[in-house]
Amino acid sequence: MRSAFTKVSERGSVRKLLSIVALSAALTLVAAPVPAGSASASRTSPSACDHIGDKDAAIRDFVEGIKKDWNLDVKARDYEIQAHGGECAIQPKGARPVANGAEARSGGSTTSMTTVETMPASAASAAGDVTIQQDVAWQQPSCYEWEDAEHIGWMRACGQWGRMDYAAATHKNYAYRMYASCHALAGHAFDQVSECYVAAEPYGNDPNIVWNDWDPKATLQFDPCGSTLPIGLSVGPFSTSFAITSCDKIVPSESSSPGVPDLRATWIGKSYYAEDVRQTAALVAFGVPKSYQSSPSLYFKRGFTHEECVWPPTPSPYYPWCAI
């Protein structure tokens, strides 16, 4: 797998090379004092996107990666590269995050992004209009890719709207499915990616939205990596599903605020090498009254956590535990 920002290392000999690089970096950190101000200078650049030399090629890699990972088709012409604070993102043209930056999770430093996603108006049926369908009518996805400001971790995520209409429905019914991949970037001897999540939340706490179903609903354990995670839900007389490959475990969570569902699916584990790609996904379904004239909107949230490696009881002072 290859990200648009960083070419992923090959396994085997390159893994050993990364370990040597990690060891060398650790020895350097121990042996030489860091001059004042040099840490920030080495981890940031005048522009968050300066390290992407060929932006057109980066977007092409991004489009190809989405097709390979999730069989979703997006067009390179619909995407651009934009800086958001200290981060750089590939995103739909004109998209602006509602929020990006740190968010407290289980530990470490979390890079997150939230956007408001609206069901395309052309796909919303007129009030009272009901269509019988065999499956969800999925719309064009919105996809994003970015690194954190310190270039420790990377994330790619897509969100996609669908309609779930059926005969005798009392509501106009919708679905939203979310995909995400995360991994660590090479070159940080003491850091790893430990969480990767996607989540949906009603935009503006709209009282007209009724939540029907969501998945995953329970913690799922995977062994080995590469296990298939089926995700599905039901609304009325029919259901829909899709699958991703995952490893370690997927943990669901809901918002602690009464009446405000924050339906989140989080991968939890360890990614130290760039080829240690982790995936998570979720699917939500909700309805609005037939008299509802607007196209519904929701917050699409996604993020990843990076943290320092966990050391064994008697660690070597020169070698990061997570590289072993």
DSSP 229-266: EEEEEEETTEEEEEEEEEEEEEEEE--SSTT---EEEE
Is the peptide bond prior to 224 cis by the omega test (within 30 degrees of 0)?
A: yes
- φ, ψ of residue 107 to 5 degrees: the values are 165, 170
Sign for the CA dihedral angle at 252, 257, 258, 260 comes to negative
Is residue 70 over pLDDT 80? Answer: yes
d(CA 242, CA 240): 7
Closest CA to 197 of 267, 110, 247: 267
Long-range interactions of 12-16: CB distance < 8 A, separation 24+: 15/273, 15/275
One-letter amino acid at 151 equals: H
Q: Containing H/E element for 153?
A: strand 153-163
Is residue 142 over pLDDT 90? Answer: yes
Residues 84-110: what's their mean pLDDT? 80
Q: pLDDT, tens digit, for every residue of 160-200?
A: 998 887 778 888 888 899 999 999 987 666 788 889 999 98
pLDDT on residue 74: 95
More confident residue, 208 or 318: 208
Closest CA to 142 of 206, 67, 78: 78
More confident residue, 168 or 45: 168
Is residue 120 over pLDDT 70? Answer: yes
Residue 180 near residue 229 (C-beta atoms within 8 A): no
Residue 304 near residue 197 (C-beta atoms within 8 A): yes
Is residue 281 over pLDDT 80? Answer: yes
Is the peptide bond prior to 237 cis by the omega test (within 30 degrees of 0)?
A: no
pLDDT on residue 313: 56
One-letter amino acid at 268 equals: I
